[in-house]
């Protein structure tokens, strides 16, 4: 089996009043193979090593699950998680 080579595609940047500019990213392989969480994270950090992104989990009625595509929302460059949500700071001191 060939190893997966995920690609990161920038779809759009939108202005969120409370956060600033948020960039919608699509991560997938050309063959749309299933990726692990680590593979998605590695693809993201290979392109944006110093940025934070979130993945949203919708309610059942809003689920779109027609292809093995992973959507991330990259937060503004200066964005940092609220205290207690950055596990590296929490556990590494």
Name the domain count of the chain: 1
Report if residue 80 sits inside a domain.
Answer: yes
User: Which of 46, 44, 38 is closest to 75 using CA atoms?
Assistant: 44
Report if residue 1 sits inside a domain.
Answer: no
Percent of the chain beyond pLDDT 70?
A: 96
Q: pTM for this one?
A: 0.86
Domain with 17, as residue range(s), is 7-92
How far apart are the C-alpha atoms of 81 and 73, rounded to whole Å? 14
How far apart are the C-alpha atoms of 23 and 72, rounded to whole Å? 8
Walk along the chain (93 residues) and give the pLDDT tens digit of each residue: 566 799 999 999 999 998 999 999 999 999 999 999 999 999 999 999 999 999 999 999 999 888 999 999 999 999 988 888 888 887 886
How far apart are the C-alpha atoms of 43 and 28, rounded to whole Å? 9
Question: Is there a contact between 43 and 28 (Cβ–Cβ < 8 Å)?
Answer: no
């Amino acid at each position: 089996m060939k190893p997966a080579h995920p690609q990161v595609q920038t779809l759009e940047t939108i202005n969120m009043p409370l956060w600033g500019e948020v960039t919608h990213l699509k991560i997938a392989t050309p063959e749309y193979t299933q990726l692990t969480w680590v593979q998605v994270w590695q693809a993201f950090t290979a392109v944006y090593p110093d940025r934070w992104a979130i993945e949203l989990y919708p309610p059942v009625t809003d689920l779109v699950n027609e292809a093995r595509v992973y959507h991330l929302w990259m937060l503004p460059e200066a964005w940092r998680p609220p205290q207690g949500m950055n596990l590296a700071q929490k556990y590494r001191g």
